[in-house]
């Protein structure tokens, strides 16, 4: 199957990702947030909502919609920014980041339209997503259930328990996306509790596994268009990413997990981000 993405579609995705990254930096100037983690999965989240998931502002409560659970909840600014671009929430609401008068906070909560479940403590959402996927199977619905987990989160035993259950119930409507930026908090994943070889480990738990460049939209299109990868097997997409992607001065740095900027610093970074992206768009 030819999944070549049209030029205008690719430009639209890159422009949307740029705007979402700008929103993330804006929130970093309003009390700080987990910038590195959010930028790591920005391209993935933008692609999933724009090209893969049946989720839109007019079907957020429709039982037939798809589901996305952000298990690495500290990256939630990427959801807020994406939801603002998709019209789930008013963009002006992002200025309420960390305000006691709103729910735009450091972790996902269901007071924000589009957030399916609270998260923050790591290792929980795969179990929740598996339960939703099982319910959809039992009701003979064709919803697709996506859960994004951090690679460091794979240290949690609850993740592997949920994988066993997802495999046992043959949840091929479940897609687990691993944000593989090889950093967790302030350490490298392979320096703390090594994960590799990750693919055979996941396969041994009954998963059907593919790898992608988590910043390459065409690569995402090629892989996600083939889901489910195998009948009766949950799918895992290992997305190789870079923490802080888009801002060279913080990319792949263990000390740039959480960032708090002044308005001036954020403005300078947004300007650099736009300049860099203009060059990328010209190259398409």
In order along its 284 residues, the chain shows pLDDT tens digits of 567 899 999 999 999 999 999 999 999 999 999 999 999 999 999 999 999 999 999 999 999 999 999 999 999 999 999 999 999 999 999 999 999 999 999 999 999 999 999 998 899 999 999 999 999 999 999 999 999 999 999 999 999 999 999 999 999 999 999 999 999 988 999 999 999 999 999 999 999 999 999 999 999 999 999 999 999 999 999 999 999 999 888 999 998 889 999 999 998 988 888 887 776 666 66
CB 256 within 8 Å of CB 35: yes
The pTM for the full model equals: 0.95
Q: Which of 255, 214, 240 is nearest to 35 (CA)?
A: 255
CB 178 within 8 Å of CB 172: no
**Torsion angle, alpha carbons of 181, 182, 186, 187, to 10:** -170
pLDDT, residue 147, reads 98
CA–CA gap between residue 200 and residue 198 (Å, rounded): 6
CA–CA gap between residue 263 and residue 252 (Å, rounded): 23
pLDDT, residue 15, reads 93
CA–CA gap between residue 115 and residue 113 (Å, rounded): 6
What are residue 210's phi and psi, to 5 degrees? -130, 155
**CB-CB neighbours of 271 under 10 Å:** 11
What are residue 260's phi and psi, to 5 degrees? -130, 120
CA–CA gap between residue 264 and residue 135 (Å, rounded): 48
pLDDT, residue 284, reads 64
**CB-CB neighbours of 47 under 10 Å:** 24
Gyration radius of the chain over CA positions: 18
């Amino acid at each position: 199957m030819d999944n070549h993405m049209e030029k205008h579609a690719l430009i639209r995705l890159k422009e949307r990702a740029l705007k979402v990254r700008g929103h993330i930096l804006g929130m970093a100037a309003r009390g700080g947030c987990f910038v590195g983690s959010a930028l790591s999965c920005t391209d993935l989240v933008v692609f999933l909502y724009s090209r893969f998931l049946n989720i839109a502002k007019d079907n957020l409560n429709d039982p037939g919609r798809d589901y996305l659970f952000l298990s690495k909840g500290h990256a939630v600014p990427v959801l807020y920014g994406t939801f603002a671009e998709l019209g789930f929430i008013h963009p002006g609401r992002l200025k309420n980041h960390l305000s006691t008068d709103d729910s735009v906070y450091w972790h996902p909560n269901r007071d924000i339209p589009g957030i399916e479940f609270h998260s923050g403590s790591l290792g929980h959402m795969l179990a929740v997503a598996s339960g939703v996927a099982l319910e959809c199977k039992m009701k003979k619905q064709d919803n697709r259930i996506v859960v994004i987990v951090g690679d460091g989160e794979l240290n949690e035993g609850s993740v592997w328990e949920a994988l066993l259950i997802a495999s046992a119930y043959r949840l091929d409507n479940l897609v687990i996306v691993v944000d593989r930026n090889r950093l967790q908090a302030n350490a490298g994943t392979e320096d703390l509790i090594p994960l590799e070889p990750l693919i055979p480990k996941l396969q041994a738990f009954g998963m059907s596994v593919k790898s992608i460049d988590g910043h390459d939209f065409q690569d995402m299109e090629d892989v996600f268009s083939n889901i489910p990868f195998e009948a009766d097997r949950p799918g895992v997409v290992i997305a190789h990413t870079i923490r802080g992607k888009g801002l060279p001065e913080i990319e792949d740095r263990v000390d740039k997990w959480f960032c708090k900027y002044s308005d001036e610093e954020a403005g300078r970074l947004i300007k650099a981000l736009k300049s860099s992206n203009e060059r990328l768009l010209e190259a398409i």
